[in-house]
């Protein structure tokens, strides 16, 4: 039946679209007038429903008659803690409008314990779900100069968790450079090598929430015990503990316990330990006990191989010059690179067009506006003075009026934060000041934004404007 539907569909759309959206589908079951098809992801399902629902309906009705029904089965690649992908059935919109929460499969947990694995009496009998995502593994974490150290340290740890000097292993680097992927890969590999070991992946955010919850419910001790029986603890985005004294304290105790017992701790952060703010010194010094490995921005070659690998896995072909165009234009964030590829494929199949360089340009333009536009010090001064409704000359002037001084200090602060310019050169460009003035400005902004609510809002607003 599905074969026939496919050939009907194939006749009605471009080969590219067919290849992208229909070849990956598997027919899994046929009962009476209902056909179940398996799709690779939720995104995929939504795309089909949005763009091809009529085509599907027509083709199916031709085969199965008026009462034909289509059931989607989403392959759960992203199901944490499950080796074998399980599937969740979704009735098709052919029969009813599918609301998005009904198809919000990946966040739904099959195992109610998973949601709150912490309030568990008799902990020792409990199997802890690792929360690992098996689709983040070493095989698809491509190696390049930018990640060689972190990647091989990760592999060393995976071979001998707790048995290397890389304890903790701290992986740090900018947004979208692969920290989460690598952290999962290490965990997944440990599970392969040592199935009996208890591995737990958790984001620092969730760790914090659970800690707070445990305090509310009066079972802080259960919370601590839970973590103390883990063999490999992976905490993602540890910088989010900044400013959270209670959580830091409990993490400190857990960390010590695990470390003393030769258990492995793996952490990720978007900053190097020296740059982490509002994290207790005793924790920071623990972070430095093991190895801190940085993920850098991938070089051109690595970007090309990441793109090609992604295309290969999705079964899509793309001309070499477009691959290079993408690699040349999206440099700072692998997640954005992947996003651009997905929208490129999606656009081309939706509009029944081939993937051309023009299409690629259009997509890159509106995809990475923010990363394409280098933030210059001039631009920062302009945005800051607009924000405070003054002109740039006023901002640069010698006046000591408080709000002007603050604006100037904010401009200096963002120049330091968002450009590579030295303190001295920032000073020169913002009203001919010296480097000490700029340094003082940065410190003042830091201080004020932690003590003064209104000022913090300035910093947040401007940060958003400048990076948008
Ligand atoms: P971070 O946690 O640093 O923000 P992620 O781990 O979420 O970044 O990575 C962003 C995306 O880039 C993910 O889809 C990931 O699979 C992909 N990615 C990052 N590094 C690599 C790599 N070396 N090879 C292949 N894919 C990568
Ligand atoms: Mg991450």
Can you give the pLDDT at residue 198? 94
pLDDT of res. 84: 38
Question: Can you give the pLDDT at residue 393?
Answer: 93
**57 is an annotated ligand-binding site residue:** no
Pick the CATH number of 2-101 from 3.40.190.10, 3.40.50.300, 3.30.300.180, 3.30.56.10: 3.30.300.180
For ligand 1, mutation pick of 132, 152, 334 (most atoms within 8 Å of CB): 334
Q: Which three-class secondary structure state does DSSP give residue 69?
A: strand
Indicate the DSSP class of residue 409.
H
Element (H, E) at 191: helix 179-193
How many H helices and E strands in the chain?
22, 9
Beta bridge partners of 203: 236
Kindly provide the b/e burial profile for residues 334-364, where b requires at least 16 CB atoms within 10 angstroms of the residue's own CB.
Answer: bebbebbbbbbbbebbbeeeebeeebbeebb
Give residues with Cβ within 8 angstroms of 385, minimum separation 6. 391, 392, 394, 395, 407, 411
Q: Whose CA is nearest to atom 5 of ligand 1?
A: 178
Write down the pLDDT at residue 353.
Answer: 74
Q: Which CATH superfamily, name and number, covers 128-295?
A: P-loop containing nucleotide triphosphate hydrolases (3.40.50.300)
| pLDDT of 122 | 35
Among 335, 338, 342, which is best to mutate for testing ligand 1, by the most ligand atoms less than 8 A from CB? 335
Task: Examine domains 2-101 and 300-372 and report if their fold is the same.
Answer: no
Is 173 flagged in the annotation as binding? no
ipTM of model: 0.99
Low-confidence ranges of the chain (pLDDT < 50): 77-88, 90-125, 370-372
What is the C-alpha R_g of the chain? Answer: 26
Of the options 1.10.238.10, 3.40.80.10, 3.40.630.40, 1.10.1750.10, the CATH number for the domain spanning 377-467: 1.10.1750.10
Asked if the 300-372 domain carries CATH number 3.40.50.720, the reply is: no
What residue spans define the domains of the chain?
A: 2-101, 128-295, 300-372, 377-467
Q: Which long-range contacts (CB under 8 A, 24 or more apart) does 326-329 make?
A: 326/360, 326/364, 327/300, 327/303, 328/300, 329/364, 329/368, 329/372
pLDDT tens-digit map of 4-62: 889 888 887 777 778 878 888 989 888 888 888 888 777 678 778 777 877 888 788 88
Residues with CB under 6 A from ligand 1: 140-142, 147, 173, 175-181, 306, 334-335, 338
Q: How far apart are CA 236 and CA 277, in angstroms?
A: 17
**310 CB-near residues (< 8 Å, 6+ apart):** 338, 341
Residue whose Cα lies nearest atom 1 of ligand 1: it is: 176
Annotation-wise, does 262 bind a ligand? no
The three-state secondary structure class of 295 is: strand
Contacts of 200 (CB under 8 A, 6+ apart): 128, 130, 131, 227, 230, 232, 233, 234
| pLDDT score for 79 | 37
């Amino acid at each position: 039946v599905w074969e026939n539907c496919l050939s009907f569909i194939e006749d009605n759309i471009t080969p590219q679209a067919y290849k992208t959206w229909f070849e990956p589908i598997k027919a899994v079951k046929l009962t009476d007038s209902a056909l179940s098809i398996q799709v690779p992801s939720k995104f995929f399902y939504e795309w089909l429903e949005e763009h091809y629902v009529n085509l599907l309906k027509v083709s199916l009705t031709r085969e199965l008659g008026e009462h034909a029904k289509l059931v989607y089965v989403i392959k759960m690649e992203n199901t944490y803690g499950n080796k074998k992908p399980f599937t969740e059935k979704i009735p098709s919109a052919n029969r009813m409008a599918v609301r998005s929460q009904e198809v919000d499969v990946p966040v739904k947990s099959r195992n109610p314990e998973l949601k709150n694995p912490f309030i568990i009496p008799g902990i020792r009998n409990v199997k802890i779900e690792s929360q690992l995502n098996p689709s983040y593994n070493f095989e698809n974490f491509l190696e390049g100069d930018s990640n060689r150290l972190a990647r091989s340290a990760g592999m060393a740890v995976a071979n001998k968790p707790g048995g290397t000097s890389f304890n903790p292993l701290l992986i740090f680097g900018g947004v979208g450079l692969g920290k989460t992927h690598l952290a999962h890969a290490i965990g997944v590999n440990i599970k392969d090598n040592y199935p009996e070991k208890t591995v737990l992946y958790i984001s620092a955010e969730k760790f914090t929430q659970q800690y707070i919850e445990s305090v509310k419910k009066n079972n802080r001790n259960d919370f601590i015990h839970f973590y103390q029986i883990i063999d490999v603890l992976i905490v993602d985005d540890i910088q989010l503990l900044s400013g959270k004294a209670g959580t830091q304290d409990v993490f400190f105790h857990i960390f010590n316990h695990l470390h003393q017992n030769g258990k492995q701790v793996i952490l990720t952060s978007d900053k190097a330990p020296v740059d982490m703010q509002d994290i207790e010194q005793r924790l920071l010094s623990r972070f430095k006990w093991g190895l801190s490995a940085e993920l850098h921005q991938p070089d051109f070659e690595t970007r090309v191989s990441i793109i090609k690998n992604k295309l290969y896995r999705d079964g899509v072909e793309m001309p070499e010059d477009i691959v290079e165009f993408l690699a040349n234009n999206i440099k700072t964030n692998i997640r954005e690179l992947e996003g651009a590829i997905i929208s490129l494929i999606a656009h081309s199949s939706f509009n029944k067009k081939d993937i051309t360089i023009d299409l690629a340009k259009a997509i890159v333009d509106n995809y990475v506006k923010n990363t394409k536009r280098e933030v210059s010090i001039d631009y920062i001064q302009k945005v800051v003075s607009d924000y405070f409704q003054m002109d740039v000359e006023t901002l640069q002037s010698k006046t000591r009026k408080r709000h002007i001084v603050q604006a100037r200090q904010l401009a200096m602060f963002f120049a330091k934060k968002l450009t590579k310019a030295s303190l001295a050169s920032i000073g020169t460009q913002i009203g001919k000041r010296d480097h000490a003035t700029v340094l003082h400005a940065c410190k003042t902004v830091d201080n004020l934004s932690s003590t003064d609510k209104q000022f913090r809002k300035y910093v947040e607003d401007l940060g958003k404007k400048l990076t948008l």
